[in-house]
Amino acid sequence: MESGPAIFAGTVFALFGAALLVWTGTRARHRAPVAHGVNPATAAALTAIFGTASLLAGVWCLSRV
């Protein structure tokens, strides 16, 4: 009964983290701004950190099922 919410949360976190990492990598590769009005290196680093953290949270949630 408790595995349903864990599967949902893990899937959402993992998909969001993976999408954020792909989007950040694509924007950085094309030298496009990751966030407007922010230093490009800082924006890319912070989004990579949060994307990785979200992906790891998703993997952790799914490993608890």
With a cut of 90, say whether residue 14 has pLDDT above it.
yes
Q: Of 3 and 57, which is predicted with more confidence?
A: 57
pLDDT at 1: 60
Maximum distance among all Cα pairs of the chain, rounded to whole angstroms: 47
One-letter-per-residue 3-state SS of the chain = CCHHHHHHHHHHHHHHHHHHHHHHHHHHHCCCCCCCCCCHHHHHHHHHHHHHHHHHHHHHHHHCC
Residue 38 tokens read as 């922010």
- Please give the model's pTM, rounded to 2 decimal places: 0.86
Alpha carbon distance 31, 48 (integer Å)? 15
